[in-house]
């Protein structure tokens, strides 16, 4: 994935590349991409992206504050619950992530089959509450 695939947006690029390296267990590259992307997101006052970058880098309180600002400023049609659950996973707040997912207010993009297949949810995959959630519905 070249930077051009993200229209030169270094915040999205670093977030995407960092998340891939995080999933591969490469903490050095993960941190390098997230650190670089955070500089770009801060420069643009991009609370949405900053929240994920901060959460992934272990700054949970600051991440949730940035997310709250982004959520307050978002368009009503955006389903922020999925994003909040993803932020919780990045921040290592697995209980919060599962609690959000149990509300099933995900919007049209996140589905039970997607939860089953997406490796992003691996940190909570073995949790009994997550298991019940993905068994509860086959749509």
Instruction: Report the distance separating Cα 106 and Cα 110, nearest Å.
Output: 6
Instruction: Note the pTM of the prediction, 2 decimals.
Output: 0.86
Q: Each residue of 9-33: pLDDT tens digit?
A: 999 999 999 999 998 999 999 999 9
Instruction: Report the distance separating Cα 98 and Cα 131, nearest Å.
Output: 10
Could you write out the three-class secondary structure of 13-71? HHHHHHHHHHHCCCHHHHHHHHHHHHHHHHHCCCHHHHHHHHHHCCCHHHHHHHHHHHH
Residue 7, CB half-sphere, CA atoms under 13 Å: how many?
Answer: 0
Q: Each residue of 60-102: pLDDT tens digit?
A: 999 999 999 998 887 665 678 888 999 999 999 999 999 999 9
């Amino acid at each position: 994935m070249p930077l051009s695939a993200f229209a030169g947006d270094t915040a999205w690029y670093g977030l995407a590349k960092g998340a891939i390296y995080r999933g591969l267990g490469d903490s050095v590259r993960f941190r390098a991409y997230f650190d670089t992307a955070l500089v770009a997101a801060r420069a643009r006052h991009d609370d949405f992206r900053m929240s994920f970058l901060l959460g992934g880098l272990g700054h949970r309180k600051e991440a949730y504050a940035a997310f709250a600002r982004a959520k307050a400023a978002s368009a009503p049609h955006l389903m922020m619950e999925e994003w909040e659950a993803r932020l919780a996973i990045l921040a290592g707040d697995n209980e919060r992530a599962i609690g959000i997912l149990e509300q099933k207010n995900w919007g049209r993009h996140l589905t039970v089959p997607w939860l089953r297949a997406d490796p992003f949810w691996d940190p909570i995959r073995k949790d009994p509450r997550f298991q019940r959630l993905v068994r509860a519905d086959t749509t």
